[in-house]
Amino acid sequence: MDYSKSGGARPDKNNPRHSEHNAKGSAKNPYGKGAAKDDLIARMKAAAEARKAAAEKP
């Protein structure tokens, strides 16, 4: 008898058990959403300039 063939099928090794809620390409995180980073950098630079101006003011 070939005991290596007994038992259930082995699961895939690289398969995730579940899908992430914010996976790439989903409705919450669509592909091609790069403009948000540009907006973030612009806001950060503006905030840094505002802090710099406030520090030089007194």
Averages of pLDDT over runs of 10 residues in the chain (58 residues) are 78 83 85 81 96 87
pLDDT at 26: 85
Q: Name the residue with tokens 């899908």.
A: 19
Q: What is the pTM of this model?
A: 0.41
Q: How many folded domains does the chain comprise?
A: 1
In this structure, is residue 52 part of a structural domain?
A: yes
In this structure, is residue 12 part of a structural domain?
A: no
In this structure, is residue 38 part of a structural domain?
A: yes
pLDDT at 43: 94
Q: Cα–Cα distance between 44 and 58 in angstroms, integer?
A: 23
Handedness of CA 35, 39, 40, 45 (dihedral sign): positive
In this structure, is residue 16 part of a structural domain?
A: no
3-state helix, strand, coil in the chain (%, to 5): 45, 0, 55
Domain that holds residue 58: 33-58
In this structure, is residue 43 part of a structural domain?
A: yes
In this structure, is residue 27 part of a structural domain?
A: no
